[in-house]
Structure 1
Amino acid sequence: MEYEVIFYNTFLDMLKGAKEKFSDLLFWEDSNGKCTYDHFYNDIMKSAGYFLKLGSKYIVLGLNDQYLFAVIYIAAVITKHIVCLLPENHLIPDNMQPAYIVDDKRLKEIMNNVPISENELINTDPNEPCTIAFSSGTSAKNKGCILSQRNLLYDAQYSMKIYHYWKGERLIHILPYWHLFGIVADLIGPLHQGCCLYAPESNVYFFQAMKYFKPHCINMPPALADTLCSRLKSTQDIRSTGGCLKKILCAGAPMNIQTAYSLKAFGILPCIAYGLTECSPCVAVTPDTDIAFGTVGKPIPCVDVKIKDGEILVSGSTVMLGYFENEEMTKQKVVDGYFYTGDMGYFDKNGNLVVVGRKDNMLIFGNGTKCVPEIIESRLNGLPGIEETLLRTNFSGKYAMPELIIVSSDFNNGIKEKVTAVMKEEALYPFILTIQTEKLTRNSMEKVVRK
């Protein structure tokens, strides 16, 4: 089943459409108050007047206020600037200088402008660069991915053919806008469809926000899905989520399979999006009508995905224009129109994509055994009593041995026996076992740090 979706080619067209269709509808609410779609539109037009007079090509957003981040981001794009989405505490690359930094100090000057007319704006070329988003994997250095409005809009619009938003639907905004998944799933998608966003002051107030705003859906990292599941298990009351939550969408890392099953049992559909910054970012998503556990669903309609030597390759209108100031790396990663993701995977018999791990994470042990650690971790994470696992190589002995780190607050001999059985089946025995209660270390993109 595919939903009907209106297609826009530029942010300005989408903004005009949202104003015409949803003018008086609530768009945003946070601790500072509420605003309608009409108010949001006017704030963007104020900012656009400022950016029309600005000579700098690159705009860097250093804003804590997520509403104003959204305003400035769209205003900069529709006035032909290139916005750089930098993770927190990330230094501006030297080859991006001089960049114009929009921080809290400059906001007053920007927002004091008189709104301009949309007639003063010329629709930009949707294929030209509009955003540079920085990709950060579990071990690789950050890379600037150059993206166009076409990349981002096609990704959002085609994704919504599978995972849909509805007019008036309430979302809690959790994902930071410097993260591309946040821009597409928590800004472009909801704005396109007329959704209402509520932004808590921090994730500390997440559960209070749910009770107050009664969201229908939330986009979140898998770690927060685990926390949500634990809360539901402890309360056994769906009203702790506000009583209206029907689905969540996770990305950035695999969802714990036990978490997924438990959420489904509570009537919350646990959907997964698979993607990379280089692909704007969504490549595949599980439909919000039903899910195939253990998969990331089918590729979105505007991409072609194929498997070559076990690696997932992606082609289509969402693949980036290239890496910023790095033509050599672009040529290495995009060959004959296909982006080599570095992820290992396959299609199941129903055409659903299964992602098994990173090609770069392949482990080779002293006894000659090779494995993709994510496959083993996925099996172990499905065992009761295990919160998460990390498989890595230990070089402290005469030869490289498997070392398994298990996060568990209730580890016992029964769990140990099941873990040992899995490790023997995978030819990873003997192994070094470490039990801890602390969560695994993650980077700014919520991915486990393996090294």
Structure 2
Amino acid sequence: MSAQQPKSILDAVQTHVRSRGDAEALSFYSSEHSRWCTWTWSQLWQQVEATATNMRSQGVSSDDRIGVWLENGCPWILTDLALQLMQCVSVPIHPATLPRQAVVHLSRAACELLIVNNPAQSDETGLQLSCRTLPVADVLIGNGQKPKQYTPAEPDMTAVQTILFTSGTTGVSKGVELTYGNLYSNAVAALERYDFKQDELVLNLLPLSHVFARTCDLYVWCLNGHHMVCSRGKESFSEDIKHWRPTHINAVPVVFQNLLSTVTDKCSSLSDVTGGRLRHVNAGGALVPEPLRSAFQSNGIPMYQGYGLSETSPVIALEGASGTCPESVGRPLNSVEVRIKNGEIQTRGPSVMKGYLDDPERTAAVFDGGWLKTGDLGRIDEDGFLYVDGRLDEMMVTAAGHNINPALLESQICQEPDVARVVVFGHGKPYLVGLIVLNSKCVESHDLLNRINNHLLAFPKYCRIHEIVVLDRDLSIEDGELTSKQSLVRNVIAQSYASEIESMYI
């Protein structure tokens, strides 16, 4: 970032246009031309202006609420930047959101327009939308009129920029209102912790509809001015890495676990798999198993872990070159304050949301004198590192009266290399049981229970797992078992696998 800090995300983009407009900015795969395309910062800005012009011709005005239901990629980025240019409120819908749920979100946000991938997308839902739809091609191509040249007005940093609907782990839908100031301040602080150079090449895979990727991939890129590449998706991710040889990737732990399993399966090195230029990676959305972190570290690739919420734009704490600590999620960002009150992590700062959409009671309930109550259990050590120990509302009490935090046990069990995911149950029961997802179908599972319990030796005996069931598929976002950031939705999982759970108590 330049010595003079930009006033907004768009101000940063225009700074790059003026000072280094011919530098490579964004690469993406064009299905129309069956090849990769790269835009400079000047070309990118011309496309943003054209997109904004086309939106205005479609009747979009400042302060309109616009739904964005798009796959990851260049159209998503142009749409988001154009909406900022027009000072509209974006309401992103995750690509995997169930149609009925998307309709509810669009209605609650009172959206005037929904931008979709193709004309059939809204028809395929079979549901009545409360707003008109517009294919993204019409937004990007328009009606041939000359793009208007825009000079971005300095936004009101207290105005709402986006409304994010997040069910969290309870399944209860909440509309999180984030302001321009929330997202900008978090991206600035995250960039300070990343300590990126302008020669970075960052490969984006995570959905931009989720605030982790939106802040840490998209807006950090806008601020820093490095080269970003939009991956073609999970199926092509390994090929994209080899082709582009990125220096940094933000992803959830399972993505990095899959990369590591590719090394094992093909007898190659991690450097071969990732292109040999990775300087560091950042894992968020779930706790990182220590064997996974160690495997990357042993290959000279530091794996940084972070922690945050949609309500905090999202980053609260993040590791970086300035300091890491095993099992920690790093120190709070420079602009973020954290305290532990009655065992709960609470935070305040410029990244904390304005509130929940049309829900003053829930907004008031989540604040304690200006501090946001995260609902997460945690602790801070003497060096300032933050540790997350699970959710307050997920504490279990067994039939014997033992209070158990399942997330702590699950984190330890996932240190077992063969375990990709585990869900522990036992509330009101005489002992604990677990649903297990393996990293490979070829894993020998006959002694898996013993290996799992070996990871729990530091816990009291009542924390041992007595029975397990190995699932034949992973949990999914589509079935409501995981949130968009891969967190467990325990009540849905309990319903989906009720018979398997009960079978372990017979």
TM-score using structure 2 length: 0.82
1:74 corresponds to which of 57, 75, 81:
81
Residues 1-400 of structure 1 aligned to structure 2 (within 5 Å): 7-32=5-30, 33-52=37-56, 54-55=60-61, 57-64=64-71, 66-88=73-95, 89=97, 90-91=102-103, 92-104=105-117, 105=119, 106-111=135-140, 112=142, 113-119=145-151, 121-234=152-265, 235-237=267-269, 238-393=271-426, 399-400=429-430
Maintained 8 Å contact 1:311/1:342: yes
CA distance in 2, matches of 1:385, 1:445: 22
Counterpart of 2:107 in structure 1: which amino acid? D
Deviation digits for residues 260-299 of structure 1, max 9, x if unmatched? 1111111111111100000000000001355211001100
Instruction: Confirm whether residue 444 of structure 1 aligns to residue 506 of structure 2.
Output: no
Maintained 8 Å contact 1:135/1:278: no
Instruction: Confirm whether residue 433 of structure 1 aligns to residue 467 of structure 2.
Output: yes
Maintained 8 Å contact 1:78/1:124: no
Q: Which residue of 1 aligns with 2:432?
A: 402
Counterpart of 1:87 in structure 2: which amino acid? H
CA distance in 1, matches of 2:111, 2:154: 25
Deviation digits for residues 27-74 of structure 1, max 9, x if unmatched? 222221221111111111112224455247101112235211111111
TM-aligned CA distance change 1:188 to 1:421, over 3 Å? closer
TM-aligned CA distance change 1:428 to 1:165, over 3 Å? same
CA distance in 2, matches of 1:220, 1:272: 10
Counterpart of 1:168 in structure 2: which amino acid? D
Instruction: Please state how far the C-alpha of 1:198 moved relative to its aligned partner.
Output: 1.8
Query: Does the residue aligned with 2:213 lie in a helix, a strand or coil?
Result: helix
Counterpart of 1:134 in structure 2: which amino acid? F
Query: Does the residue aligned with 1:162 lie in a helix, a strand or coil?
Result: helix
* Higher mean C-alpha displacement, 403-412 vs 300-309: 403-412
TM-aligned CA distance change 1:213 to 1:418, over 3 Å? closer
Instruction: Please state how far the C-alpha of 1:169 moved relative to its aligned partner.
Output: 1.1
Maintained 8 Å contact 2:67/2:106: no
TM-aligned CA distance change 1:182 to 1:371, over 3 Å? same
Q: Please tell me the root mean square deviation across aligned C-alpha atoms, in Å.
A: 2.3
Maintained 8 Å contact 1:8/1:153: no
Deviation digits for residues 412-450 of structure 1, max 9, x if unmatched? 437616616826942426754114154344333322232
TM-aligned CA distance change 1:180 to 1:6, over 3 Å? farther
Maintained 8 Å contact 2:48/2:81: yes
Instruction: Confirm whether residue 416 of structure 1 aligns to residue 450 of structure 2.
Output: yes
Deviation digits for residues 191-239 of structure 1, max 9, x if unmatched? 2112212223221111111111010010111110111122234434212
Q: How many residues align?
A: 445
Maintained 8 Å contact 2:9/2:223: no
Maintained 8 Å contact 1:78/1:123: no
CA distance in 2, matches of 1:351, 1:258: 24
Counterpart of 1:114 in structure 2: which amino acid? K
Instruction: Please state how far the C-alpha of 1:403 moved relative to its aligned partner.
Output: 1.4
CA distance in 1, matches of 2:489, 2:149: 48
Maintained 8 Å contact 1:9/1:150: no
Query: Does the residue aligned with 1:61 lie in a helix, a strand or coil?
Result: strand
Counterpart of 1:126 in structure 2: which amino acid? M
TM-aligned CA distance change 1:230 to 1:360, over 3 Å? same
Deviation digits for residues 102-152 of structure 1, max 9, x if unmatched? 224533433334222234x43221111111112232223221111111111
Instruction: Please state how far the C-alpha of 1:98 moved relative to its aligned partner.
Output: 4.3
* Higher mean C-alpha displacement, 290-299 vs 318-327: 290-299
CA distance in 1, matches of 2:181, 2:318: 19
TM-aligned CA distance change 1:110 to 1:306, over 3 Å? same
CA distance in 2, matches of 1:213, 1:29: 10
Maintained 8 Å contact 2:27/2:39: yes
Structure 2: gaps (5+ residues): 31-36, 120-134, 477-481, 492-506
Counterpart of 2:138 in structure 1: which amino acid? E
Query: Does the residue aligned with 2:84 lie in a helix, a strand or coil?
Result: helix
CA distance in 2, matches of 1:267, 1:81: 43
Q: Percent identity?
A: 21
Maintained 8 Å contact 1:394/1:403: no
Instruction: Please state how far the C-alpha of 1:8 moved relative to its aligned partner.
Output: 2.8
CA distance in 2, matches of 1:93, 1:61: 10
Maintained 8 Å contact 1:11/1:78: no
Query: Does the residue aligned with 2:347 lie in a helix, a strand or coil?
Result: strand
Query: Does the residue aligned with 2:474 lie in a helix, a strand or coil?
Result: coil
* Higher mean C-alpha displacement, 27-36 vs 318-327: 27-36
Deviation digits for residues 380-403 of structure 1, max 9, x if unmatched? 2223443332211266xxx45321
